[in-house]
Amino acid sequence: MPIHNADIAAIFAEIADLLEIQAANPFRVRAYRNAARVIGDIGRDIVRMVGQGEDLTELPGIGADLAAKVREIVETGRCTLLERLHRELPPAIGELLHIPGLGPKRVRTLWHDLDVQTPEQLYRAARDGRIRTLPGFGEKTELRILQATETHLSQARRFKLATAAQYAEPLVTWLRARPGVKRAEVAGSYRRMRETVGDLDILVVAAEGNTVMNDFAAHDEVQEVLARGPTRASAILKRGIQVDLRVVGEENYGAALCYFTGGKAHNIALRRIAQERGLKLNEYGVWRGNARVAGDTEESVYRAFELAWIPPELREDRGEIEAARAGRLPDLVRREDLRGDLHAHTRATDGHDSLRDMAHAARKAGLEYLAITEHSRRLAMARGLDPQRLACQIDEIDRLNETLEGIRLLKGIEVDILEDGSLDLPDSILGRLDVVVGAVHSRFELPRAKQTERILRAMDNRHFHLLAHPTGRVLETREPYDVDMLRIIRHARKRGCALELNAHPARLDLLDTACMSARDEGVPVAIDSDAHSVHDFDNLRFGIGQARRGWLEAKDVLNTRPLAELMRFLQG
């Protein structure tokens, strides 16, 4: 079975969770959790590193024991430690960790005190009012757990975009190399760059007599074939992702790509336009009676309705059809438009690499400037900087900039926004920085009015430049905190601040709809990697996808500006 970085990271994350449920040594738990993050975020292929005999202990946080387990997973597809933990714990208890608001400590309490081992048992315990009696829970927590469990039990599983990419892209590359295959493309929500993906829709154009369906069914990644015919197959990959593969003709490739890419509302709107014009639109083409009038390319489909071609990320029926008709579609931002990155960490706090290494990696990624924004002292687990340590880093960055070529380091901080809206560091040190990034890292449960006022007061600080990951969400783990985003955006405009679109695949925060609001209000958005290692700049592409879904052009993005123009904004 092929192994991907996401597989190894998932195994280590599960080991950490199960160890914590067992109340194992916290340092051991943290080691597996850190390893999961490093391997999940790294831009290099771990399997290739193992195959080439590279020393895995050179990766941050990977010691000899963890390196041996990585090699075991790569070489056998198994991890004996994880299998042992599964034998020692109830079979379904790990599924409880997929419910927002439940971490390993709470799962352990629910298991030991209420014998809750499955989501169904959790739902009944919450419904019956038994959870509120446990220490550290309470009535409000019980209600949140009940609502989250209802949602979990009713929803199909979805995968983060970056996780889906680890399977979609190699699979499409493999399909393109099959005999007789002329084209292969991923459609669906993946092509629209949605932050999570339910399944993968892949379209193939192949010569007559091809064997692509049989080849696909026999692929090493495939665990179960659900259906197979001459032009369509469905299968479940061993990671749990469903793939629907369709072979289409060249004459209807564009129509099929359009049909299987667009969101439901977008496709309904297109079919309505077709009906108004006496046409019919389906996955085989645009038809007038029995005659196909378009369908070989997507451009021909849209042209049949007198529309400009609409980029896939916009196909959600949010005004893109009207814009295409009027010739007002945005010239969406591209990865190559980014000149810099305003949010990155080094090993001074919870990053893994040195200032110099991060600078060289940013330059290699095509950037001209990089802001170093360590955590502030309130975030003790990340070894946040106090004023004295930050002052030392400011001096270190100044010295390093004298020797760097092709890249400029900016002096910054990711400063905690405290509950009362004050910032975690004094103005005397914030005033020495090029960029101050404010972030909420605590009290996510504050009511909407209090959370909003907290952020607005922070933005009123004269040194404040950028609001980091503005809703605080972590996909599959933490829901967004409740804020009045429009008030925040309008206050940012008034104050001359910017909002961040955090490109980390677990965040992708701002939401696409908030990006649209920021654009409409004239508030710049910074697409940042939140890099914690030299490999994390690759994540910028996911931030670009989210920005494109939010209709952002290069002019709407703060870090597409040349350094001199950026500094005028920051100093203004």
Q: How does pLDDT run across 92-134, given as a tens digit for each residue?
A: 788 888 888 888 999 999 998 988 888 888 988 898 899 998 9
Phi and psi (nearest 5°) for 263? -65, 160
Say if CB 116 and CB 110 are below 8 A apart. Answer: yes
End of a domain among 287, 307, 326?
Answer: 326
Is residue 292 located within the same domain as residue 164?
Answer: no
Is residue 302 located within the same domain as residue 450?
Answer: no
Q: What is the CATH number of the domain that holds 320?
A: 3.30.210.10
Stretch 380-384: mean pLDDT: 84
CA distances from 236 to 11, 77, 216, 240, 245 (A): 19, 17, 11, 6, 11
Q: What gap in Å lies between CA 253 and CA 204, rounded to an integer?
A: 8
Confidence of residue 1 (pLDDT cuts 50, 70, 90): low
Is pLDDT above 90 for 509? yes
Is residue 417 located within the same domain as residue 290?
Answer: no
Is pLDDT above 90 for 523? yes
Is residue 216 located within the same domain as residue 257?
Answer: no
Say if CB 516 and CB 501 are below 8 A apart. Answer: no
Q: What gap in Å lies between CA 530 and CA 540, rounded to an integer?
A: 9
User: What percent of the chain has pLDDT above 90?
Assistant: 76
Phi and psi (nearest 5°) for 532? -115, 0
DSSP label at 481? Answer: P
Is residue 318 located within the same domain as residue 348?
Answer: no
Is residue 163 located within the same domain as residue 144?
Answer: no
Is residue 216 located within the same domain as residue 306?
Answer: no
pLDDT given at position 476: 80
Question: DSSP alpha helices (H): ranges in 244-383?
Answer: 253-261, 264-276, 298-304, 320-326, 355-364
How many residues are listed for the chain in this entry? 572
Q: What is the CATH number of the domain that holds 188?
A: 3.30.460.10
Angle at 319 between CA 313 and CA 324, to 5 degrees: 80
Say if CB 66 and CB 46 are below 8 A apart. Answer: no
Q: How does pLDDT run across 387-404, given as a tens digit for each residue?
A: 999 999 999 999 999 999
Q: What is the CATH number of the domain that holds 497?
A: 3.20.20.140
Is residue 280 located within the same domain as residue 377?
Answer: no
Is residue 137 located within the same domain as residue 230?
Answer: no
pLDDT given at position 158: 84
Is residue 378 located within the same domain as residue 436?
Answer: yes
User: Environment class of residue 459 by beta-carbon count within 10 Å: exposed (0-12), middle (13-18) or buried (19+)?
Assistant: buried
Q: What gap in Å lies between CA 3 and CA 75, rounded to an integer?
A: 9
Phi and psi (nearest 5°) for 229? -140, -170
Q: What is the CATH number of the domain that holds 114?
A: 1.10.150.110
Q: What gap in Å lies between CA 489 and CA 512, rounded to an integer?
A: 14
- Strands in 232-237's sheet, in edge-to-edge order, are 181-186, 199-206, 242-248, 232-237, 222-228
- Residue type at 337 in one-letter notation: D
Give the chain's domain count.
Answer: 4
Which of left, alpha, beta for 26 (phi over 0: left; psi -120 to 50: alpha)?
A: alpha
Taken in order 489, 493, 497, 501, the sign of the CA dihedral is: positive
pLDDT given at position 102: 87
User: Environment class of residue 166 by beta-carbon count within 10 Å: exposed (0-12), middle (13-18) or buried (19+)?
Assistant: buried
User: Environment class of residue 83 by beta-carbon count within 10 Å: exposed (0-12), middle (13-18) or buried (19+)?
Assistant: exposed
* Residue at token pair 């990320």: 313
Q: How does pLDDT run across 10-23, given as a tens digit for each residue?
A: 899 999 999 999 99
Is residue 61 located within the same domain as residue 75?
Answer: yes
Q: How does pLDDT run across 303-360, given as a tens digit for each residue?
A: 999 999 999 999 999 999 999 999 999 999 999 999 999 999 999 999 999 999 999 9
Longest dimension (CA), the chain: 77
Which of left, alpha, beta for 480 (phi over 0: left; psi -120 to 50: alpha)?
A: beta
Average per-residue pLDDT for the chain: 93
Domain of 276? 253-326
Angle in degrees, 0-180, between the axes of helices 26-41 and 64-76, rounded to the nearest 10: 50
End of a domain among 248, 280, 295?
Answer: 248
Which of left, alpha, beta for 85 (phi over 0: left; psi -120 to 50: alpha)?
A: alpha
CA distances from 5 to 2, 49, 165, 474, 529 (A): 10, 11, 11, 20, 19
DSSP label at 327? Answer: T
Is pLDDT above 90 for 254? yes
SS3 of residue 498 by DSSP: strand
End of a domain among 213, 248, 283?
Answer: 248
Beta-sheet strands, E only, within 112-249:
159-160, 181-186, 196-197, 199-206, 222-228, 232-237, 242-248
Is residue 168 located within the same domain as residue 258?
Answer: no
Token pair, residue 475, equals 């996909």
Say if CB 249 and CB 226 are below 8 A apart. Answer: no
Is the entire prediction scored with pTM above 0.75? yes
Q: What gap in Å lies between CA 494 and CA 564, rounded to an integer?
A: 22
Q: How does pLDDT run across 138-194, given as a tens digit for each residue?
A: 888 999 899 888 887 766 678 999 999 999 999 999 999 999 999 999 999 999 999
* Residue at token pair 């080691």: 31
Contacts of 548 (CB under 8 A, 6+ apart): 193, 311, 313, 314, 332, 333
* β-bridge partners, 371: 410
Angle at 301 between CA 300 and CA 304, to 5 degrees: 80
Token pair, residue 502, equals 């955090």
Q: How does pLDDT run across 437-452, given as a tens digit for each residue?
A: 999 999 998 999 999 9
